[in-house]
Structure 1
Amino acid sequence: MTSLPVLKLLIAAPRGFCAGVDRAIRIVELALERYGAPVYVRHEIVHNRFVVDALRAKGAVFVEELDEVPDDAPVVFSAHGVPKSVPAEAEARGLHYLDATCPLVSKVHSQAEKLVDAGKHILFVGHGGHPEVIGTFGQVPDGRITLVETLADVETLAPADPDNLAFLTQTTLSVDDTAAIVCALKHRFPAIQGPRGEDICYATSNRQAAVKAIAPLCDAMLVIGAPNSSNSLRLVEAAERAGAKAMLVQRGEDVDFAWLHGVRTLGLTAGASAPEQLVREVVAKLSERYAIEEEQIATAAENMVFKLPRALQAA
């Protein structure tokens, strides 16, 4: 019998679920326990097909807009946050809703409101069309926030009052790219006001730091996550910049063994909305072709826990 080639597998820690994702999924599960199926969820609760399908099997119904929710059904808002108009519409219809917005996203929402109340115009660093960006823009009146996606965007900004600006950022961006854009904003607009603390969330920063530590030790890196997951895509970019070829996979069946040809040391991580079950699934898939030597590389410890909404705490 031919022995399998050895593959050294360096697994990042921290990886996978963050506290905000844990909380959002638990809210849907507890809502199903308390109210029974169906429980409606506006938008994917988190950007992971495996998670969404598992909740759908338990009785969650995923919709894009509230007009798809029957009048007497409970509805959950996703972890990415929603514009103010969404809970307002839910209240106007008398819908029972639960807000699963990540508390770190809610913090950005609160900052946006306070800055606009103080008369500031906000320059928001983020990716156009992402649910988190749409939700943040929807916290304040139209015209009070301008989206900044790239360094090139900074050069073309023409604010009416350059001395009365503030900036905020999406929570799931590239730490390095965002730092460069913020530096450019401060250079162009020296009076610009920044947030009190870092807007990019701890989990995004920690997962990128872990990838940066592992990628130089690897021939290639696999990132488990969804193609619409901002934080997962940023992990692929971080690996490539650190010197490893990198690929995004959603689960074990997506592993491309031709792409892995010649790889002797492989890095593995998972985005903040990918469950540990998928990490083990990918390892099992790799084990079909390789003798795996698995090593976990820990770069940070995480113990963050977010409280559930009051309506579900007893459950």
Structure 2
Amino acid sequence: MTKTPLTIRLCGPRGFCAGVDRAIQIVVLAIKKYGAPVYVRHEIVHNRFVVEGLETLGAVFVEELDEIPAEHQSQPVIFSAHGVPKSVPADAEQRNLFFLDATCPLVSKVHKQAMRHERQGRHVVLIGHKGHPEVIGTMGQLPPGAVTLVETVEDVDAFEPADPAALGFVTQTTLSVDDTADVIARLGERFPLINAPAAESICYATTNRQEAVKQAAPGCDLFVVVGAPNSSNSKRLVEVALKAGAKRSILLQRAHEIDWDAVGDIGLLGVSAGASAPEVVVNEIIEAFRERFDATIELAETVKETENFLVNRELRDVELTAADMAFVNGVR
């Protein structure tokens, strides 16, 4: 049977960013140095494929520190790339736990920006999504009541600060650049004296992936974003693709989730991946389309990423083998 021609417009950059790569390396290195089990508070990154892979090495994922058994409290506990409130390391110290912080350095930068606003006497406005671990972590850097979370322009309109002249804002790192711009603009309209952070809060990887999707999406019959449903940056890519001109856009974790009846007759497919999605899963989904279509790959690359973040000092004496790096990169 003759296959229907299909052009797959593959975005670059896509997938793992430096912060995700660092976080996964921290878990792998900790297991190598200290042995299993190594405990991880919350998913190290928002991707079940990655989490399940780390579990096979000996990582144990918990939501709270009291889930760590007494007999294992000498083993390391790792805080996820999304960051944690200050109360979490304080709790770990009280329990005499040895902990390693895998918070992405760009998230840590936002924490410092928020604390700087607060030190200068400003009430902090955080633009982000309620309940997201990064938002919980950022709000938890400051005393209760020191931060107000806004998600939309409407939230800004409803916000009535005690002192409109003493405000500073920061943003969650994984938001849509365009949507955040609308909220920031409204904050500026209502509160002309509001102070911006010293540097951009949305991380380079989020911006780069969104820009690549913007360029690739026009004309696509379908745009697939590889990522998890609890991944903020992945969900934003779905929205960006639709706004940029894709007729349809969906989020997929694995190839088996593809609803082929819904895919239908397509001629141009866009593909990208959130910052915590491994390349092996991107390839798996592309191969699924190759099985059903006469597919040609067209690379849509906007920029090359060269960022690299160092792991914790405690782990720098451990070397990653080629097999370890293959695992970290999602090639298993």
| TM-score category (smaller protein) | over 0.9
Are residues 1:88 and 2:90 paired? yes
After TM superposition, list the pairs within 5 Å mapping 1:201-216 onto structure 2.
Answer: 201-216=203-218
What is the CA-CA distance between 1:242 and the residue it aligns to? 1.1
What is the CA-CA distance between 1:218 and the residue it aligns to? 1.4
Task: Report sequence identity in percent.
Answer: 58
What is the CA-CA distance between 1:259 and the residue it aligns to? 2.0
Amino acid at match of 2:197: P
Whole-angstrom CA distance in 1 between matches of 2:297 and 2:185: 39
SS in structure 2 of the partner of residue 6 of structure 1: strand
Are residues 1:54 and 2:86 paired? no
Superposed CA deviations along residues 73-113 of structure 1, whole A, max 9, x for unmatched, are: 21000000000010111111111110000000001111111
Amino acid at match of 2:262: W
Are residues 1:309 and 2:312 paired? yes
SS in structure 2 of the partner of residue 278 of structure 1: helix
Amino acid at match of 1:83: P
Are residues 1:247 and 2:250 paired? yes
Whole-angstrom CA distance in 2 between matches of 1:276 and 1:93: 38
What is the CA-CA distance between 1:123 and the residue it aligns to? 0.6
Equivalent residues, number: 314
After TM superposition, list the pairs within 5 Å mapping 1:1-315 onto structure 2.
Answer: 2-70=1-69, 71-244=73-246, 245-315=248-318
What is the CA-CA distance between 1:160 and the residue it aligns to? 0.3
What is the CA-CA distance between 1:69 and the residue it aligns to? 1.6
- Where structure 2 has 5 or more consecutive residues not aligned to the other structure, the ranges are 319-332
Whole-angstrom CA distance in 2 between matches of 1:18 and 1:258: 33
| Structure 1 residue runs of 4 or more that deviate by more than 6 Å after TM superposition | none
Amino acid at match of 1:73: Q
Task: Give me the CA root mean square deviation.
Answer: 0.7
TM-score by length of structure 2 reads: 0.93
SS in structure 1 of the partner of residue 261 of structure 2: coil
Whole-angstrom CA distance in 2 between matches of 1:254 and 1:288: 15
What is the CA-CA distance between 1:47 and the residue it aligns to? 0.2
Whole-angstrom CA distance in 2 between matches of 1:135 and 1:183: 25
What is the CA-CA distance between 1:196 and the residue it aligns to? 1.5
